[in-house]
């Protein structure tokens, strides 16, 4: 069973308050009791002095009967229980109790004790605390007070006594006073103190309970409820009432934690929602990189095969071309034979061009790089091809970025790349169109981007993936399918990359990326 914090805290603090206030009340009661006794001693000592002064003349006149009557009258007062006068040797001379008159008291009697402290002879002018004592009898408290009767000049010369002038103390007044009234007052005071203490304790405990519940337990209970709600998955749980103390700081920290958890869950949901898309994008990127690597490997293998085949057929092909050309020059050849030889020469020349292209594709000569401006290389290539007939109805638009950094390139090889792309673009627009050429610097990837876009017939999706393959061409009987393959190899030897986007019937855009520093192909291979 869980005990509420406010009850436990209030009980502990109330117990501490009760102990402290009880000790304080006891000390206060003890002090008041002591003060009452001291006041009673002072008052009754004054009463004893008055009695002695009232009986002074009767003692000088030795009027014993009148003195006895006066002592009896004084003893009739409500608070006074006993009055007696002791003479020398402890003999009771006068008393409200007539039966003890003439009796002799022992030195150890309470009435004689103040005169014989520690067994010493009778003392003179003993302090009041030595002349009084409080005792109980039959359930009632009494105050016994004694006062010395001293030898004055009138006493030593009076006719009643024959006291020597050297004798200081000639008797003792012994009086016993009831302390019932003082006990009643003390009891009433004790009751008031206990009652006020209990009321104060009750008020303090109630106030402590209310303050603890309002400023400590209620905020803790609110924090506990919101913590439980958060633990059950309610991320909207917040502490609304925040105080300016440690509990307020704890509440603010809880709100920050809940906000962070809510934000983290939202990010996880968003990440989960976009994870599939990111995986697809990454898969597509990896597939593209893998396709490029596969294309590079295929071109490399094809290059080795082509080089071997070209070398093997180049020599016999040269012999056929040479002897066919010589034979065709004889003037006495029949027309049909001459026509056949001319056809052999033409077709052999065509085969020689194919072999020459194969050798250029397979050679992959190391580029001789020098610092040069890519804008200059493009512009120079345009000047070479723009005067050809296929560009008469084509609008050429150039957008060169200014202040491009120079690149370490083989200008002749890049000129061959741009020449192939420009010619292909012109052939794709037989009825005219627009050829757009642009350059730009991508600071993020530290590359120069060259785009060659036309508004021609475009390339179908199934052919788009094969355009860089050797011997593949979309031009029927107009090419050997080696131009883009050779261009692809040149760009790769420069550490760059070639991408192509095309929509059939709308046009084609080639994008060439040349690194300012480094090698894009090596970075892709390392990322894979």
CATH code of the domain covering residue 445: 3.30.565.10
Structure confidence by residue, pLDDT tens digits, 302-346: 556 666 666 667 667 777 777 777 777 777 778 887 778 777 877
pLDDT of residue 70: 83
Q: How many residues in total does the chain contain?
A: 528
Tell whether 487 and 390 lie within a shared domain: yes
What does pLDDT average to over the chain?
Answer: 76
Between residues 469 and 142, which one has the greater pLDDT? 142
192-230: string of b/e by CB count within 10 Å (b at 16+)?
A: ebeeebeeebeeebeebbeebbeebbebeebeeebeeeb
What residue has token string 């970025």? 401
CA distance 147 to 135: 18
Inside any domain, residue 470: yes
Q: Which two tokens stand for residue 98?
A: 């007539």
Tell whether 224 and 161 lie within a shared domain: no
Which of 287-301, 436-450, 467-481 comes out lowest in average pLDDT? 467-481
CA distance 39 to 45: 10
Tell whether 151 and 213 lie within a shared domain: no
Inside any domain, residue 258: no
Q: How confident is the model at residue 365 (pLDDT cuts 50, 70, 90)?
A: low
Inside any domain, residue 487: yes
CA distance 414 to 372: 11
Tell whether 185 and 46 lie within a shared domain: yes
Tell whether 226 and 197 lie within a shared domain: yes
Tell whether 426 and 375 lie within a shared domain: yes
CA atoms within 13 A on the CB side of 153: 0
Boundary (domain end) residue, out of 113, 144, 178? 178
pLDDT of residue 154: 61
Structure confidence by residue, pLDDT tens digits, 257-281: 877 888 887 878 777 777 777 778 8
Tell whether 12 and 122 lie within a shared domain: no
CA-based nearest residue to 174, from 242, 284, 100: 100
pLDDT of residue 113: 57
Tell whether 4 and 153 lie within a shared domain: no
Residue 20 has pLDDT above 70, yes or no: yes
pLDDT of residue 251: 74
Boundary (domain end) residue, out of 215, 234, 253? 234
CA distance 349 to 352: 5
What's the domain range around 399?
368-528
pLDDT of residue 477: 47
Tell whether 432 and 520 lie within a shared domain: yes
For 343-372, what is the mean pLDDT?
68
CA dihedral of residues 225, 230, 235, 240 (deg, nearest 10): 30
DSSP at 89: G
For 66-95, what is the mean pLDDT?
80
Tell whether 380 and 528 lie within a shared domain: yes
What residue has token string 């809880």? 254
Model-level pTM? 0.39
Tell whether 422 and 478 lie within a shared domain: yes
Tell whether 517 and 384 lie within a shared domain: yes
CA atoms within 13 A on the CB side of 187: 7
Inside any domain, residue 342: no
For 233-241, what is the mean pLDDT?
73
Q: Which two tokens stand for residue 142?
A: 């009494």
Inside any domain, residue 220: yes
Inside any domain, residue 310: no
Give the chain's domain count.
Answer: 3
Boundary (domain end) residue, out of 130, 145, 178? 178
DSSP at 226: H
Structure confidence by residue, pLDDT tens digits, 95-130: 888 788 878 876 666 656 555 544 545 555 667 667
CATH code of the domain covering residue 167: 3.30.450.20
Inside any domain, residue 276: no
């Amino acid at each position: 069973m869980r005990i509420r914090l406010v009850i436990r805290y209030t009980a502990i603090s109330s117990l501490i308050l009760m102990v402290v206030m009880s000790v304080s009340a006891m000390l206060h009661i003890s002090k008041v009791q002591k003060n009452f006794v001291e006041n009673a001693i002072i008052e009754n000592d004054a009463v004893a002095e008055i009695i002695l002064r009232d009986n002074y003349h009767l003692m000088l006149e030795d009027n014993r009967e009148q003195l006895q009557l006066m002592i009896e009258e004084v003893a009739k007062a409500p608070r006074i229980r006993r009055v007696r006068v002791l003479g020398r040797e402890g003999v009771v001379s006068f008393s409200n109790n007539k039966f003890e008159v003439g009796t002799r008291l022992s030195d150890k009697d309470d009435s004689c004790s103040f005169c014989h402290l520690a067994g010493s002879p009778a003392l003179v002018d003993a302090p009041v605390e030595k002349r009084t004592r409080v005792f109980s009898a039959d359930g009632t408290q009494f105050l016994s007070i004694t006062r010395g009767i001293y030898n004055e000049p009138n006493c030593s010369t009076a006719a009643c006594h024959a006291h020597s002038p050297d004798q200081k103390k000639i008797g003792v007044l012994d009086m016993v006073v009831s302390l019932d009234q003082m006990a009643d007052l003390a009891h009433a005071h004790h009751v008031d103190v206990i009652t006020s203490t209990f009321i104060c304790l009750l008020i303090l405990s109630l106030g402590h309970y209310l303050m603890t519940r309002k400023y400590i337990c209620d905020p803790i209970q609110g924090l506990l409820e919101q913590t439980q709600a958060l633990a059950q998955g309610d991320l909207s749980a917040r502490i609304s009432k925040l105080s300016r103390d440690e509990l307020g700081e704890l509440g603010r920290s809880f709100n920050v934690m809940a906000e962070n958890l809510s934000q983290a869950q939202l990010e996880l949901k968003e990440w989960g929602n976009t994870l599939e898309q990111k995986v697809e994008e990454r898969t597509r990127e990896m597939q593209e990189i893998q396709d490029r690597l596969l294309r590079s490997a295929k071109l490399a293998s094809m290059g080795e095969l082509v080089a071997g085949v070209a070398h093997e057929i180049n020599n016999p092909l040269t012999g056929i071309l040479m002897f066919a050309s010589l034979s065709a020059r004889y003037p006495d050849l029949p027309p049909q034979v001459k026509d056949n030889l001319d056809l052999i020469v033409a077709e052999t020349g065509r085969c020689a061009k194919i072999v020459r292209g194969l050798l250029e594709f397979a050679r992959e000569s190391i580029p001789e790089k020098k610092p040069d401006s890519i804008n200059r290389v493009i512009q120079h290539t345009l000047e070479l091809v723009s005067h050809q007939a296929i560009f008469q109805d084509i609008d050429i638009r150039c957008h060169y970025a200014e202040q491009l950094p120079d690149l370490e390139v083989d200008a002749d090889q890049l000129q061959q790349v741009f020449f192939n792309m420009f010619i292909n673009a012109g052939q794709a627009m037989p009825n005219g169109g627009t050829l757009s050429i642009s350059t730009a610097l991508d600071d993020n990837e530290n590359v120069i981007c060259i785009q060659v876009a036309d508004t021609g017939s475009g390339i179908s999706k199934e052919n788009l993936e094969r355009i860089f393959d050797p011997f593949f061409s979309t031009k029927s009987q107009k090419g050997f399918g080696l131009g883009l393959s050779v261009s692809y190899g040149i760009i790769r030897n420069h550490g760059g990359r070639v991408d192509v986007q095309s929509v059939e019937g709308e046009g084609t855009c080639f994008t060439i990326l040349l690194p300012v520093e480094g090698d894009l192909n090596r970075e892709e291979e390392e990322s894979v």
